[in-house]
A and B are shown apart, each in its own frame.
Chain A
Amino acid sequence: MKILGFLLLLSGWAIALTAVALLTRDAPRVAFVLAGVGVEILGLALVIRAHSIHRGELE
């Protein structure tokens, strides 16, 4: 899950960059950058969940 989360982080960044590089009209560019950020948030949530401590593990 951790690796998947980091892959999603990188994918979100790639989506945002691609949108900036390839799209010229404002609306689709903004939409795709926001979509990239959304993918990053999903990835971050996965990484956070993967790192959450199991109950009592580090007590």
Chain B
Amino acid sequence: MSALAPTLSDTSTALCVVCILLVPLAGAGLALINTGLGRSRSAAQLMMSSLCVLSVAAIAYLACGFAFQGLAGQPAHVAMIGGKPWSWLGSGHLFLHHVPLDNSSVLLAVLLGMLSAGLAGLIPLGAGLDRWRLGACCISTAVLAGWTYPLFAHWVWGGGWLAQLGANYGLGHGFVDSGGASAIQALGGLTALAMAWILGPRRGKYTRDGMPSAIPGHNAVFVLFGCLLALVGWWGLNSAGAILYNGAGAGAAVLVAINTILSAASAALSAALVTNTRFGKPDASLTANGWIGGLAASSGACAVALPVEAVVIGLVAGILVTFSVEWFELRMSVDDPGGSISAHAMGGLWGVLSVGIFAQMAPGALSAAGETAAHRGQWLAQLVGIATLIGFILPLTYGLNRLVNRVYPQRVSAQGERQGMDLYELGAGAYPEFIVHSEEFTER
């Protein structure tokens, strides 16, 4: 599966362009959510970091990312194992030298890849809030967009070995991921986990007896408005992915949009219901995390599930994310202020698995493989994809970021953390008219 349509119809091309141009709204939404969930004294630095991450990702992807990712049918490094081809890395030229500039399908894939790499790079920012240096997150993003993301994206969307599990080993349609639940969401979320481990928790987050202190976000309006922006971006992301990577027709975009909003809506409602039941009132930040978790989960099966199944996918995602946030904070002592690990990694992994459970290969979707193709073994292909994310991508991204940390320490100094990232790194705060409470600067 995941064969790129060799040529798109004019309608599909036009729709794809519109959809891809919506994707930056997902980035804007994530940036607002992360900013709102952080402290006010780090707001400007976080927005600046988001902008830099998108910029670095675009350049790194242009420089080498697309060459490594490649596309189905294009030259790639292939190893023969047991007589079966295992395509493991694209072998294109750097700086898009091999890309024909008149082939709109390929150029659309380049554009979507650039934005997707930027989106994946934004996700770890939520886990590194209030302590991740601007320069360090740029270097980390360059590694992600130039190597980690393209490598996995080749396996999933570039005709790589995961996509070929169906053709080579009879596992359903091979690994299916319509909108990036694995390559963008889970990969970004696992990188967020690696960064949270490397950076360590914020000062004052955990008491001497290991209990976490509540450090509430500074602007719930940013967070909730970011959720609405993200929905529009996700419509574009999921629809463009389904058309470009799954060979779905232009008409499939409607089903994708319906499934996307249903998944997000049911996830937000289930998160609100769970928090209301447990705490007496619905929690805005956890509901927002649930919404994003629902969006992340929707990316997997958005083009191949029925609407009622999208509701189930969202319901499970909302519950999963809500409990996961608490589990990471309380049990694992992982300080993830933006909930990135729970929303994107857990939501994304669930989205990947949901393809194996729910995918019916709905009419109009996955036309490249044929709607009547056997679905047998699909869940095993999805499970192999999950095993690859946890067993290979997590150690890889952790190792690379540890290496970066050795060369260029990623965590800000204690003084910078007390002072706030805005003043320390940018020299000016996001809200200069705010009154600063002196006790926030007192060394404990």
Interface residues of A (CB under 8 A from B): 6, 9-10, 12-14, 16-17, 20-22, 26, 29-30, 33-34, 36-37, 40, 43-44, 47-48, 51-53, 55-56, 58-59
Number of A-B contacts (CB under 8 A): 84
B380 interface hit (Cβ, 8 Å): yes
Contact B84 A21 (CB under 8 A): yes
Supposing A20-B165, A20-B171 touch, asked if A13 and B392 sit within 8 A by C-beta, the answer is yes
What's the Cα separation between A56 and B210 when bound, in Å? Answer: 6
Contacts of A40 in B (CB 8 A): 387, 390-391
Contact B201 A9 (CB under 8 A): no
Classify chain B: how many residues form its interface, as a range. 20 to 34
Known pairs A12-B391, A13-B387, A44-B390 / 7 extra A-B pairs, C-beta < 8 Å: A9-B394, A13-B391, A16-B391, A21-B81, A30-B380, A53-B210, A55-B209
For A52, the closest partner residue in chain B by CB is B333
How far, in Å, is A25 (CB) from chain B's closest CB?
11
How far, in Å, is A59 (CB) from chain B's closest CB?
5
Contact B208 A55 (CB under 8 A): yes
Top-7 shortest CB links A-B: A13-B391, A56-B208, A16-B387, A53-B333, A40-B391, A6-B395, A55-B210
For A17, the closest partner residue in chain B by CB is B384
13 A–B contacts, CB within 8 A, in A order: A6-B395, A9-B395, A10-B395, A12-B391, A21-B84, A33-B384, A36-B387, A40-B390, A47-B197, A53-B206, A58-B201, A58-B206, A59-B204
B103 interface hit (Cβ, 8 Å): no
For B377, the closest partner residue in chain A by CB is A26
What's the Cα separation between A45 and B443 when bound, in Å? Answer: 34
Contact B209 A56 (CB under 8 A): yes
What's the Cα separation between A28 and B391 when bound, in Å? Answer: 20
How far, in Å, is A34 (CB) from chain B's closest CB?
8
Contact A12 B387 (CB under 8 A): yes
Contact B204 A6 (CB under 8 A): no
What's the Cα separation between A36 and B392 when bound, in Å? Answer: 12
Q: Which of B201, B207, B394 has the most CB of A within 10 A?
A: B394
Contact A48 B82 (CB under 8 A): no
For B196, the closest partner residue in chain A by CB is A51
For B210, the closest partner residue in chain A by CB is A55
B386 interface hit (Cβ, 8 Å): yes
Supposing A17-B384, A53-B201, A58-B201 touch, asked if A9 and B390 sit within 8 A by C-beta, the answer is yes
B17 interface hit (Cβ, 8 Å): no
- Residues 354-397 of B, flagged 1 when their CB comes within 8 A of A and 0 if not, give 00000000000000000000000100100110111011101100
- Residues 148-180 of B, flagged 1 when their CB comes within 8 A of A and 0 if not, give 000000000000000001000101000000000
For B203, the closest partner residue in chain A by CB is A58
B200 interface hit (Cβ, 8 Å): yes
Contacts of B204 in A (CB 8 A): 59
Contacts of A17 in B (CB 8 A): 384, 388
B332 interface hit (Cβ, 8 Å): yes
For A59, the closest partner residue in chain B by CB is B208
What's the Cα separation between A58 and B329 when bound, in Å? Answer: 14
Contacts of B207 in A (CB 8 A): 56, 59
What's the Cα separation between A14 and B203 when bound, in Å? Answer: 38
What's the Cα separation between A48 and B194 when bound, in Å? Answer: 11
Contacts of B93 in A (CB 8 A): none
How far, in Å, is A50 (CB) from chain B's closest CB?
9
Contacts of A26 in B (CB 8 A): 377
Contact A20 B169 (CB under 8 A): yes
B95 interface hit (Cβ, 8 Å): no
For A54, the closest partner residue in chain B by CB is B210
How far, in Å, is A19 (CB) from chain B's closest CB?
9
How far, in Å, is B326 (CB) from chain A's closest CB?
15
- Considering the complex, which residues of chain B in the window 4-32 have a beta carbon less than 8 Å from any beta carbon of chain A? none
B398 interface hit (Cβ, 8 Å): yes
Contacts of A21 in B (CB 8 A): 81-82, 84, 169
Supposing A10-B392, A12-B391 touch, asked if A51 and B171 sit within 8 A by C-beta, the answer is no
Contact B386 A37 (CB under 8 A): yes
For B385, the closest partner residue in chain A by CB is A16
What's the Cα separation between A43 and B327 when bound, in Å? Answer: 18
What's the Cα separation between A58 and B383 when bound, in Å? Answer: 37
Contact A37 B383 (CB under 8 A): yes
What's the Cα separation between A17 and B384 when bound, in Å? Answer: 7
B218 interface hit (Cβ, 8 Å): no
For A6, the closest partner residue in chain B by CB is B395
What's the Cα separation between A2 and B398 when bound, in Å? Answer: 11
Contact B391 A36 (CB under 8 A): yes
Contact B387 A33 (CB under 8 A): yes
How far, in Å, is B331 (CB) from chain A's closest CB?
9
